[in-house]
Amino acid sequence: MQLSKRDKSSKTQYVRKSIISIGIIAFFIAIIIAFVMSNKMSSKVNVQKLDSGWDVIINDSIYENVTLSTFRIPESLKKGDTVILKTNLPEQLDSDSESVTFQAILTTLEARIDGNSIYSYGEEAYEKGFVGSGYHFIQLPQGSEGKEITFILKPAESGAFTNITVPTVTPVKYTTTAFADKNLVNIFVCISLFVLGVIMTIVGAITYLFESNVKSLIVIGLLTTVAGVWSSCNTKIIQIFSIDLEMCTAIEYLSLYVAPVPLVILIIMVMRDETPWKKKLLYGVLAVLVFFDVLSTVLHFTGIAHFPTTLAIFHFLGFATIIILAIAGHSKFSNMDRSERVLTVAIVVLCVFAGLDILRFNYSKYMWPENEMLTNSILPLGMLVFVVLLVGSYIFYIYDVVQDSAEDRALAQMAYTDPLTGLYNRAKAEKKFAKLLKNKMDYFLINLDLNGLKKMNDKFGHAKGDLLITTFADILKECFSDIATVVRMGGDEFLVIIDARHEDKIKPALAKMIELEAEKSKETGMRIEASFGISSNIEDKSRGPEQVYSVADQRMYKMKQNMKAARRARAKKAEENN
């Protein structure tokens, strides 16, 4: 039993080191994968922008010779409106096989060359009510140089878009490469978030089987995974792997709506301020977020109200959540431990990025849509910084928890440990008795009494007596530790508690004890000898541990008397022979 305690402590230390190591390794794996993938895709590709010379027709309104990068749709679009874009392709293209990349947001798209349709997307989805967002890669027919290209858009949602992204022309074989070149940072961020999140979730789930302190790691992993999924959909990086725009767009909104839930759960788990109103406030926020997620998902998939129509509500809830987190989490920075400080910085960083991104989105859509710099979300980068800080906070947190747990175990160990021998003490024996009685287990008790201790103390002093005790304790450890709980009850009295499953090992262990007593006696010059008595509840099921112990004590005393009688007989015989 003594060994099992040390094993448990070693296992805990191993878990702590594993979590830290795996977290660091996982992060660097994510970085390496992202850079390898990014560099593999990266290459110099000639991209021709179709920015100027457009005619734009919005319902009955016509705008001629428009430059798309500075053009803002002057009227709010509604479902059922039609937007038509016309221009001439360059007189000279770089290759015989070219494609146009066009980004469409919540709208159908038809592309025509000189009035002939070459591409169509979203008509069926439009009839059902929800059209996805994303990039369209449209292969041009050979001989398209100088011909008129037309794009026809039908918004599927009111206010679907307020500006038009500049289309580009690239050789077909370099279309994906050009897309990757434009989004290298996004690829790095998205892959890093997703890979790190999946690894942390898996590691946390496996580790949770034998160490409950890692629940926070699982939540961090889920939050990071959700952030990676949303970032991949929002930046359209997911189109490298899937071209189902309806599904990708639905996942984008759903992952965005879900993301605050694990964040609030994490804060509730790690917050050490137990002020009731703060806890209730956070649980209230969590309940509202979950309710909103469920309601918006049901409304979307039943066709009553699609995700884009509930986005404004989510933005309001997002700002409200940021404010509530600031209020509930408010505390003096100097009063926080290191994990709380890092977590606070991480939350502040995320809230700042989230708040700025909500402002960026609305400012870009409604006030300055022609600013191309505002079209890219900054939240994925903020999420990556947040997750890095979050992992750092968690490492500090789990380290402190394990350290506190180790101290608690050390104190508990001291409470149940005899300081002289390192064996368990009487308090441990009483606790063990209570457990045996509660679980109705079968067991054996061996009560031992170390012979000659009083004489040793009187003749040679207590230091010599302590040496006799510790030497005998070491013998008991060697003989019984693998099969029993070994206890020093006090003074010269010891107790061995053995599960009945090990009954067949009792006699060999006692034989080994007697053998070691003889060996140690010769080595030390001290007479090391113990009387013992054995009893079991199997003999009488009505006996409790205290009664079984009393029977073992009586049998030990009887053996002690027999040993004394045998020693007197040997002494008398030796005297007669002399």
What does DSSP assign to residue 489?
E
| 242 plus 361 within the same structural domain | yes
| 57 plus 95 within the same structural domain | yes
Q: Minimal CA–CA distance to 8: which of 421, 484, 413, 399? A: 413
Q: Quick check: is 172 in a domain? A: no
| 406 plus 435 within the same structural domain | no
CB 150 within 8 A of CB 84: yes
Phi, psi of 76 (to 5 degrees): -75, 125
| 349 plus 393 within the same structural domain | yes
Question: Tens digits of per-residue pLDDT, 80-115?
Answer: 899 999 999 988 876 677 899 999 999 999 999 999
Whole-angstrom Cα distance, residue 197 to residue 359? 27
CB 166 within 8 A of CB 126: no
Q: Which two tokens stand for residue 288?
A: 């509202």
Residue 507 has a pLDDT of: 93
Domain boundary (165, 199, 224) is at 165
Whole-angstrom Cα distance, residue 47 to residue 8? 62
| 454 plus 407 within the same structural domain | no
Q: Which CA distances in Å does 265 have to 48, 380, 571?
A: 48, 20, 78
Residue 124 has a pLDDT of: 87
Q: Which two tokens stand for residue 423?
A: 């064996």
Whole-angstrom Cα distance, residue 24 to residue 464? 53
Q: Quick check: is 173 in a domain? A: no
| Helix/strand/coil for 155 | strand
| 31 plus 133 within the same structural domain | no
Secondary structure (DSSP) of 468-496: HHHHHHHHHHHHHTTTEEEEEEETTEEEE
Residue type, 551: V
| 478 plus 445 within the same structural domain | yes
Q: Which two tokens stand for residue 145?
A: 């140089």
Contacts of 29 (CB under 8 A, 6+ apart): 195, 196, 199
CATH for 72: 2.60.120.260
Whole-angstrom Cα distance, residue 578 to residue 278? 90
Residue type, 238: I
Q: Quick check: is 176 in a domain? A: no
| 223 plus 362 within the same structural domain | yes
Q: Look up tokens 């370099």; give the residue.
A: 174
Whole-angstrom Cα distance, residue 578 to residue 574? 6
Domain of 448, in residue numbers = 426-577
Per run of 10 residues, the mean pLDDT along the chain (length 578 residues) is: 42 50 54 52 69 92 90 83 93 80 92 94 86 91 91 90 87 78 76 85 83 77 89 84 85 93 85 76 93 95 90 88 77 62 76 75 58 62 76 71 65 79 90 88 93 88 91 93 90 93 92 93 90 93 92 93 85 73
Q: Quick check: is 418 in a domain? A: no
CATH for 548: 3.30.70.270
Q: Which two tokens stand for residue 222?
A: 């889920």
Q: Quick check: is 419 in a domain? A: no
Length of the chain in residues, anyone?
578
Residue 87 has a pLDDT of: 95
Structural domains counted in the chain = 3
| 440 plus 376 within the same structural domain | no
Helix or strand (DSSP H, E) at 84? strand 83-88
Whole-angstrom Cα distance, residue 480 to residue 384? 54
Q: Assign 3-class secondary structure to 280-327.
A: HHHHHHHHHHHHHHHHHHHHHHCCCCCHHHHHHHHHHHHHHHHHHHHH
Q: Minimal CA–CA distance to 192: which of 411, 385, 390, 331? A: 385
Q: Quick check: is 133 in a domain? A: yes
Domain boundary (390, 412, 434) is at 412
